[in-house]
Amino acid sequence: MKTVTPELVREHGLTEEEYGRVKKLLGRDANFVELGVFSVMWSEHCSYKSTRAHLKKLPTKAPWVIQGPGENAGVIDIGDGDACIFKMESHNHPSFIEPYQGAATGVGGIMRDVFTMGARPIAMMNALRFGEPSHPKTRHLVSGVVSGIGGYGNCMGVPTVGGEVNFHKSYNGNILVNAMCVGLARADKIFLSAAKGAGNPVVYIGSKTGRDGIHGATMASAEFDDASEEKRPTVQVGDPFTEKLLLEACLELMATDAIIAIQDMGAAGLTSSSAEMADKGGSGIELDLDKVPQRETNMTAYEMLLSESQERMLAVLKPGREDQARKIFEKWELDFAVIGHTTDTSRFVIKHGGAVVADIPVTALSDEAPIYERPYTKRDAVTGTPSFDKTKPVLASLETILAAPDMASRRWVWEQYDNSVMNDTVQHPGGDAAVVRVHGSKKALAITTDVSPRYCRPDPFEGGKQAVAEAWRNLTAVGATPLAVTDNLNYGNPQKPEIMWEIVAGIDGIGAACRALDFPVIGGNCSLYNETNGEGILPTPAIGAVGLLKDVTKMATVAFKREGDVVILIGETKGHLGQSIYLREIETREEGAAPKVDLAVEKKNGDFVRGLIASGRVDTVHDASDGGVLVAVAEMAMAGKIGASIGQAGLPDAIPFWFGEDQARYLIAAPFAEAEKILSEALASNIFVARLGKTGGDALVLDDKDRVAVAKLGAAHEGWFPRFMAGEEIPAKN
């Protein structure tokens, strides 16, 4: 075994102070295996050492929350004894190095987090962020990530029902791949990871352990540089076929009562799953590595403990149930081995070749892991209202915006994902939120992921708030009652005080919005050190959210459905152009204040709109967000292949009215009589409301004079992505 030297400690990403702490906890020097164990368990990725103190401030409770943060995924009650289990997690660094496998194993990992709790996954989403389209690596990364997500999810037979794709130069050297999985279970059959009790068998199930992914968690906790591609060997390789078998076998085992605790082997594999289970159960654990199913020969204890081979789970069974479990895994032709047992020593003990190779107090790997109150430098939010050229023609700008990289149709992406398998997809990708029926019932779940990173750099607090508000709005726009949130916090290096400020303010913003909207955070993931050569990404706190439709037949979609419907705008328009899509795409500037979300207004407007949908009075709704009102109307027209004749209401200038990104706004289309009632009810409730015009024809007509054919807008909107991916040259911005 290698001798532990200060240099080796540094190579393991531990500071001198941290290693001092290790020695104190052990009462001696660590050996090489133990150093490896500490390095992964104390990595940012596993220990949340920079964010834990701040994450505690998030609201996590509500009467419908069954399980908040701290388990593999969060759980909410959706009535009738059903529970919804979901989580979002990043796989950013591996996906940049090896896009197909990085994205694929990200999907596999988040699915295991959900099914390890007893749920059958029913829907996947993903939030993807790439560098600017003109960057030489972007196409390769988009292509690899999308086919990796499809390759894994399609084989699993779980529909991928939506997500986000954005481009920005801040991601040129560090893309973001955040995958979300939503599953269903019975509320009284949730499986947790607390390995309570001593003397219970610890069983290993799934794939064999190989040398892949060693130190993945440590890689995810460091900045990138130009040599990062040398880290390719630390990226794991996914096998969705085995994962599908593992899913079915685990659900079959879970139908028995043999399991005490179960956890997937994700980051830091065998080490983190076993240490966390013992920690949560208040027990100790002893493993014999000679019994671990191995794919390669002569693997060392260090390699086995740190391997991130995929498609593996660890479970603690009730004594005597080993054979019952073994039969199930043999049927599915998966590896099954009893590799140890729980103890009452509160120690993490690893044996290999008959000798003890690691012996560490369990709490040293959990509660005693360092927590940092890292210093941060507060920065004033960017303020100001940007200037703009008032003479630019509105409809020409609309066409440009609809074909802009961030706004163009993502059909090229989602057609590579099986989005209708399982026969319960009610709203496919392309709407405000995806809607997936609870199998065999009238209920459905609405699912969305949202964040506007362009708001988060100028104003991290408002940007955090807005991400939550927009997710809440998107769920509301389909008619769902928003229930809970999973957050995936992607930021730069927390050791830089200006970045730490973005993190702290972002979490505060998320917390403020979640409290005001009664929208608890039930789980999440932090991905820090998203920097390359010292350049940080835009702060990107992605929000994944789930809502419930009690009756899926009372639902809204974005498409115009009838000619002659009145088009109504709910919510106040002040014409906020700061940090807007318009400013960026038409004036080519990223300037001004980010829009502020008035959370009380957000709630009031949303509750009003949801009420209209739930009572069956309205079936056509779209939120007005990226790009503003005119973009939203155009999207409704393109989706329904019906035009509209609309006019500006309430502002002197056309451009801020049509393209401003004021928050808490919705567009509704309803037949005349219903529209009249909605208008008067909104006024009576002090909700800003405006009649913009009515649907009909095959063109979008502005103020009775300017017009553009819906088909022409559609062609521009649909055209960009396929052309880009086919290799069309994209000019660099700036």
328 in contact with other proteins (CB under 8 A): no
Buried b (16+ CB within 10 A) or exposed e, 510-533: bbbbbebbebbbbbbbbbbbbbbe
Only one of the segments 143-151, 305-313, 589-597, 623-631 lies at the binding site for other proteins (rule: CB under 8 A); that segment is: 143-151
Burial label, 6 (beta-carbon count in 10 A; 0-12, 13-18, 19+): exposed
Among 47, 425, 476, 488, binds other proteins (CB under 8 A): 425
State how far the Cα of 392 lies from the Cα of 408, in Å rounded to an integer.
Answer: 21
Q: Where in 144-163 is the site for other proteins (CB under 8 A)? A: 147, 150-151, 154-157
Among 25, 187, 251, 422, binds other proteins (CB under 8 A): 422
Among 333, 380, 389, 729, binds other proteins (CB under 8 A): 333
Sheet holding 82-90, edge to edge: 65-67, 74-77, 82-90, 176-186, 120-130, 160-167
Return the sign of the alpha-carbon dihedral for residues 617, 621, 623, 628. negative
Neighbouring C-alpha atoms within 13 Å toward the C-beta of 708: 22
Sheet holding 312-317, edge to edge: 259-264, 312-317, 201-206, 335-343, 284-288, 347-352, 355-361
Among 300, 416, 441, 481, binds other proteins (CB under 8 A): 416
DSSP 268: T
State how far the Cα of 545 lies from the Cα of 409, in Å rounded to an integer.
Answer: 22
Name the minimum Å distance from CB 171 to other proteins: 23
Name the minimum Å distance from CB 150 to other proteins: 5
Q: Given the complex with other proteins, which of 334 and 633 has the nearer CB atom?
A: 334
Name the minimum Å distance from CB 606 to other proteins: 24
Owner of token pair 């017009």: 707
Burial label, 732 (beta-carbon count in 10 A; 0-12, 13-18, 19+): exposed
Residue count at the site for other proteins (CB under 8 A)?
Answer: 32
Supply φ then ψ for residue 121, to 5 degrees: -60, 135
**Six-digit token pair at 413?**
């992406």
Q: Given the complex with other proteins, which of 245 and 601 has the nearer CB atom?
A: 245
585 in contact with other proteins (CB under 8 A): no
Q: Given the complex with other proteins, which of 160 and 525 has the nearer CB atom?
A: 160
Q: Given the complex with other proteins, which of 426 and 485 has the nearer CB atom?
A: 426
Among 245, 287, 612, 675, binds other proteins (CB under 8 A): 245
Among 295, 379, 428, 562, binds other proteins (CB under 8 A): 428
556 in contact with other proteins (CB under 8 A): no
Only one of the segments 266-274, 339-347, 410-418, 665-673 lies at the binding site for other proteins (rule: CB under 8 A); that segment is: 410-418
Contact 201, 165 (CB under 8 A): no
Within 517-653, residue ranges assigned H as helices are 581-586, 599-614, 629-640
State how far the Cα of 683 lies from the Cα of 692, in Å rounded to an integer.
Answer: 15
List the one residue out of 584, 583, 594 whose CA is nearest residue 469: 594
State how far the Cα of 4 lies from the Cα of 16, in Å rounded to an integer.
Answer: 12
Q: Given the complex with other proteins, which of 313 and 334 has the nearer CB atom?
A: 334
441 in contact with other proteins (CB under 8 A): no
One character per residue 534-553, x = contact with other proteins (rule: CB under 8 A): ------------------xx
Among 131, 162, 240, 571, binds other proteins (CB under 8 A): 240
Contact 89, 488 (CB under 8 A): yes
Name the minimum Å distance from CB 16 to other proteins: 47
Supply φ then ψ for residue 416, to 5 degrees: -90, 0
State how far the Cα of 449 lies from the Cα of 485, in Å rounded to an integer.
Answer: 9
Q: Where in 248-277 is the site for other proteins (CB under 8 A)? A: none
Contact 506, 460 (CB under 8 A): yes
Among 332, 461, 720, 721, binds other proteins (CB under 8 A): 332
Q: Given the complex with other proteins, which of 241 and 672 has the nearer CB atom?
A: 241
Which is catalytic among the residues 12, 54, 91, 341? 91
Q: Given the complex with other proteins, which of 424 and 590 has the nearer CB atom?
A: 424
Supply φ then ψ for residue 107, to 5 degrees: -65, -45
Among 3, 5, 391, 423, binds other proteins (CB under 8 A): 423
Only one of the segments 76-84, 373-381, 420-428, 557-565 lies at the binding site for other proteins (rule: CB under 8 A); that segment is: 420-428
Distance from first CA to last CA of the chain, Å, rounded? 54
Only one of the segments 110-118, 416-424, 477-485, 530-538 lies at the binding site for other proteins (rule: CB under 8 A); that segment is: 416-424
Owner of token pair 């999440």: 524
**Six-digit token pair at 687?**
């909700």
Among 45, 351, 437, 473, binds other proteins (CB under 8 A): 437
Owner of token pair 């915006």: 401
Contact 66, 83 (CB under 8 A): yes
State how far the Cα of 669 lies from the Cα of 264, in Å rounded to an integer.
Answer: 46
State how far the Cα of 21 lies from the Cα of 63, in Å rounded to an integer.
Answer: 40
The Cα angle at residue 434 between residues 431 and 435, in degrees rounded to 5: 120
Across-strand partners of 481? 548
Only one of the segments 22-30, 387-395, 422-430, 563-571 lies at the binding site for other proteins (rule: CB under 8 A); that segment is: 422-430
State how far the Cα of 196 lies from the Cα of 180, in Å rounded to an integer.
Answer: 29
Q: What is the crossing angle of helices 710-725 and 394-402, to 10°?
A: 40
141 in contact with other proteins (CB under 8 A): no
Contact 483, 78 (CB under 8 A): yes
Among 66, 421, 649, 715, binds other proteins (CB under 8 A): 421
Among 303, 311, 418, 487, binds other proteins (CB under 8 A): 418
Which is catalytic among the residues 12, 45, 341, 352? 45
Q: Given the complex with other proteins, which of 170 and 310 has the nearer CB atom?
A: 310
Q: Given the complex with other proteins, which of 122 and 404 has the nearer CB atom?
A: 122
Only one of the segments 31-39, 413-421, 465-473, 557-565 lies at the binding site for other proteins (rule: CB under 8 A); that segment is: 413-421
- The SS3 of residue 411 is helix
417 in contact with other proteins (CB under 8 A): yes
State how far the Cα of 716 lies from the Cα of 407, in Å rounded to an integer.
Answer: 11
Owner of token pair 């039969």: 327
244 in contact with other proteins (CB under 8 A): yes
Q: Given the complex with other proteins, which of 385 and 553 has the nearer CB atom?
A: 553
Only one of the segments 353-361, 409-417, 618-626, 671-679 lies at the binding site for other proteins (rule: CB under 8 A); that segment is: 409-417
CA 293 to chain centre: 32
Q: Supply the Cα-derived Rg of the chain in whole angstroms.
A: 26
341 is catalytic: no
Name the minimum Å distance from CB 601 to other proteins: 33
Only one of the segments 181-189, 241-249, 645-653, 676-684 lies at the binding site for other proteins (rule: CB under 8 A); that segment is: 241-249
Name the minimum Å distance from CB 310 to other proteins: 13
Q: Given the complex with other proteins, which of 456 and 613 has the nearer CB atom?
A: 613
335 in contact with other proteins (CB under 8 A): no
Name the minimum Å distance from CB 589 to other proteins: 36
CB atoms within 10 A of CB 350: 25
Among 256, 385, 420, 685, binds other proteins (CB under 8 A): 420
286 in contact with other proteins (CB under 8 A): no
Within 300-381, residue ranges assigned H as helices are 301-306, 322-331
**Six-digit token pair at 614?**
């739930």
Q: Given the complex with other proteins, which of 244 and 610 has the nearer CB atom?
A: 244
Name the minimum Å distance from CB 146 to other proteins: 9
Among 225, 229, 415, 607, binds other proteins (CB under 8 A): 415
Which positions are catalytic? Answer: 45, 91
State the residues that interact with other proteins by CB under 8 A.
Answer: 147, 150-151, 154-157, 239-242, 244-245, 332-333, 414-426, 428, 437, 552-553
